[in-house]
Amino acid sequence: MARKATGLRRSVLRSKKSQNKGKGGWRGNWRDRFNIPKAAGTYILLTRADYDNPEDLDSNGNPLSAPYHTCGTHAVRVASKGPGSFFSTRCALDAAVAVGGSEDDADCLPCLRMEEGDKRMGYKLKRTYSFNMLHLALYERVHATDRDGKKKYYEKDFGENIKRGDPIMNWEVVTKPKAKKRIEADIDDLLEKGEVRMMSKKYMELGPKFRDQLASIEDASSKMCMCGGDLTPIVFLCEECEEPLAHVEGDDDDDDGMDEAEIAEFSAERQRCEECGHQGFPVVEPICDNCDDPQALTPFDVVVKIRRRGEGTSTDLIFDEVIPLTDFELANGATLLEWEGDSPALDDDGNWKFSDEFSIEKLATAQFDFERVHIPMDNGLIASKLNCHNPFGSAKKTGGGRSSKYKTYGKKAEEVEDDDSVSEEPRRRRPGRRKRSR
């Protein structure tokens, strides 16, 4: 069964089956943002998503679909260095256009300051790319503390389950080796009690450089077959008419073919088909050393061990491991997938199915509604950070000038339905430990 083309570089036309979950999905805020560690690597899984991509339009000017959300943000430097030396905020004009309005429907103080030559704004908007993901690490419920180390308690009632005086609990990643060993020794019981988790739903917010580096996951996964074999590309096809665009080993005696660098460069750029005239990313047709029906893994079929290296603008993403989902085990020995005997189960699109144990399937398939996550900062607050005049007023007090007339944006924010059926709370039952045989 041929699978839908879903890569980090490739935008795809929206199909009839597309649910477009990005329009009203997982509630989130800045606390759900994943910070890539610098020292030791940690395991993550990028999950499939579907968002309009304003950077990639079809022939009619309509945005194609991408597995990430993109928006314009202002990176504002307010000091030369140190903590709090800069802040970032979604451009209000960009946010207005994203929900069907126009730039005349909102006011953006950073844009105005940039036009007036305030160098703290930089010279252009920064493109921000947000990916849905799972952080596959042990999390433990701990008593929250303030900056002085004093334990925090609720000061008033919240519904029926939280009463004044109850301890405020946070989920924190377990990093100390002794703590990990203690938890793993009694993990099934701790999971049933809801005191630990083996993963958390997060989103990763990247700039253009890191987004491009993340695409190396696609290069690694595309060499792996769903059967467990290794793939070798033999020909690149047009995604529209499926005619050959290039032969890796050469198509005649005078053609020596392509080396690894040329293969990577050809697959990463849009190519024009001489047969139908379509211009798009080429589709690779491989052979497998283990089966007769090669199906390449996608970036959403592998677990990656990721970390940062370097300082400032010289920072890079490092991927120490790329592991097929079939080979990855959680802290308790279970897998992320649903199994049928010794083989992973497949969905209607030919993708591996996630297990519903501990809400894995819901965590992996729900999407963040980034139009709610990336809300522009209030102009009044921005003015206080910049110590400058705000001609637009504060949205909290006056509605923000023209933004108070921006009915489309306000209505969108109010009408988005919350998906309360999806919860990160672990289900109180033990997962089956399924092993597979090659």
Alpha-carbon span 29 to 26, nearest angstrom: 10
Q: What global pTM score does this model have? A: 0.80
Model pLDDT for residues 352-374, shown as the tens digit of each residue: 999 999 889 999 999 999 998 99
Q: For residue 215, give the 3-state DSSP assignment.
A: coil
**Tokens, residue 426:** 């672990």
Alpha-carbon span 227 to 287, nearest angstrom: 12
Alpha-carbon span 137 to 149, nearest angstrom: 25
Does the pLDDT of residue 313 top 80, yes or no? no
Confidence of residue 252 (pLDDT cuts 50, 70, 90): low
Which span out of 113-117, 235-239, 265-269, 431-435 was modeled with the highest average pLDDT?
113-117
Which of 90, 311, 69, 313 has the alpha carbon at shortest distance from 205? 69
Q: For residue 8, give the 3-state DSSP assignment.
A: coil
User: What is the reported pLDDT for 3?
Assistant: 53
Mean pLDDT score, 5-15? 55
Mean pLDDT score, 132-153? 91
User: What is the reported pLDDT for 283?
Assistant: 83
Model pLDDT for residues 153-203, shown as the tens digit of each residue: 888 888 878 888 888 888 899 989 999 999 999 999 999 999 999 999 999
Alpha-carbon span 215 to 304, nearest angstrom: 12
Alpha-carbon span 358 to 138, nearest angstrom: 13
Does the pLDDT of residue 73 top 50, yes or no? yes
Alpha-carbon span 345 to 353, nearest angstrom: 6
CB atoms within 10 A of CB 206: 18
Which of 285, 205, 200 has the alpha carbon at shortest distance from 239? 285
Task: Output phi, psi for 46, to 5 deg.
Answer: -70, 140
Alpha-carbon span 405 to 102, nearest angstrom: 12
Rg (CA), the chain: 24
Q: How far is CA 416 from CA 23, 117, 422, in A?
A: 8, 37, 15
Q: How many helical (H) and strand (E) elements, i.e. helices and strands, does the chain have?
A: 11, 19
Model pLDDT for residues 373-397, shown as the tens digit of each residue: 999 999 999 999 999 999 987 665 4
Does the pLDDT of residue 25 top 80, yes or no? no
Does the pLDDT of residue 405 top 50, yes or no? no
Give the contacts of 19 (CB within 8 A, at least 6 positions apart).
Answer: 50
Amino acid found at 138: L
Does the pLDDT of residue 268 top 50, yes or no? yes
Exposure string for 393-421, b = 16+ CB within 10 A, e = fewer: bbbeeeebbebeebeebeebeeeeeebee
Task: For tokens 């660098």, name the residue.
Answer: 261
Does the pLDDT of residue 411 top 50, yes or no? no
H/E stretch holding 170 reads strand 169-173
